[in-house]
Amino acid sequence: MSFRRTRAMFRKEILHIVRDSRSLAMALAVPIVMLILFGYGLTLDVDHIPTLVYDSDRSPQSRDLIAQFAGSRFFEIIGTVDNYHAIERSIDRDQCLLAVVIQRGFARDLAAGRAAAVQLIYDGSDSNTASIAKGYADAMLGSYSLQLRATAMNRRGGARLDPPVDARLRVLYNSELKSKNYIVPGLISVILAIITALITSLTIAREWEMGTMEQLLSTPLRPAEIVLGKMAAFFVVGIVDTAISIAAGLLVFRVPLRGSPWLLVVSSCLFLLGSLCWGILISALTRSQVLAYQMGMLSSFLPAFLLSGFVYSIENMPQAIQIISHIVPARYFVTILKGVFLKGIGIELLWGQLAFLAAFAVIVFAIATRKLRQKVA
């Protein structure tokens, strides 16, 4: 392998990238656009749940319960109704997610020491949000019931009622439970997977269609030198995209960086190398921009978005899907990003993920190089 020929190939690709202003602009603009769209638009925080109230009792006790909902940041009282038909109409129009129905006799049952009925009606069309809202409402009603019981016992005998379990919570690594703190690091892996695989495969596939790749293969350049030269040029673009993504995460979204910046750089470089080699392999297999785009989307964006743990928990997926996710490089890169950004852990715990990324890059590089040896007849 000649370093001189590889450098010449690198210089040729850099000039090609600079002259292709549209592809370069897309490569640099896509990270910014995706960060803005996903960073601000994609949130898993459930608060300000639109809530309707149907108070049939209209007593001070029922108003006190309504005040509990109104005082919580998780619920937002959007109005009151006086029948079930109005509740169903609001849910059908997506105007409310929860309806609180206080039955007639609520105050009387409380005064008599009996269980007072409160009905909660949820919009189950969004099962995940409805489940979270149910958890919030159950927890608040449980706390309110314990408060009422303690007040009643104090009035009767002066005894103090302590909760049977005193749970004291401590949230590690993301104490404010902000979804952007783990969405933005995972989003970096999705951005890099898309940019590197798609742009590399499309650019090289264009050379196949224009016939310039056959000319390269007829020169003294070896396949390994072609792959390294092209990969090095696009590696520069990938490094710029990585810097843009990390800077936006730190400065715009205020995601904490608790781990080693050097570990973040090394892992990003390994992931870039593997993704770039994958893009070159796609172009060598397809030799068509249309097919390269389709295969690039199917093999980079979708696995990185769905099977990496970026948004959806892998542990909750079917067993077969969990097994498939083990060959997705983005899964390991997302683990590294969350570990470095949020947990501050080091290579002693992340060496397995780093080893997989390195092995993936080497294997795909070898396959892409071997494929390019098959010259066009």
> How many other C-beta atoms can be found within 10 angstroms of the C-beta atom of residue 172?
7
Q: Per-residue confidence at 377, pLDDT binned at 50, 70, 90? A: very low
DSSP labels, 192-214: HHHHHHHHHHHHHHHHHHHTHHH
- β-bridge partners, 235: none
pLDDT digits (tens, 9 = 90+) for 328-366: 999 999 999 989 998 888 899 999 999 999 999 999 988
- Angle, to 10 degrees, between the axis of helix 223-251 and the axis of helix 347-372? 140
Domain with CATH 3.40.1710.10 in the chain: 49-156
Tokens 């314990």 correspond to what residue?
Answer: 146
Q: Torsion over CA of 247, 251, 254 and 258, rounded to 10 degrees?
A: 50
- pLDDT, residue 376, reads 45
Provide, rounded to the nearest whole percent, the portion of the chain with pLDDT above 70.
Answer: 92
In angstroms, the CA 294 to CA 301 distance is 10
Confidence of residue 161 (pLDDT cuts 50, 70, 90): low
d(CA 189, CA 354) in angstroms, rounded, equals 14
- What does the block give as tokens for 239? 């490094």
Which of the two residues, 128 and 361, has the higher pLDDT score? 361
Lookup result for tokens 């098959």: 374
According to DSSP, the β-strands at 75-80 and 49-55 are parallel
What does the pLDDT average to over 171-190?
79
Architecture of domain 49-156: 3-Layer(aba) Sandwich (3.40)
Reduced to 3 states, what is the DSSP secondary structure of residue 272? Answer: helix
- Type of residue at 334: V
Terminal C-alpha separation, the chain: 24
Of 83, 96, 84, whose CA–CA distance to 122 is shortest?
96
Question: Where is pLDDT greater, at 274 or 216?
Answer: 274
Entry pTM: 0.78
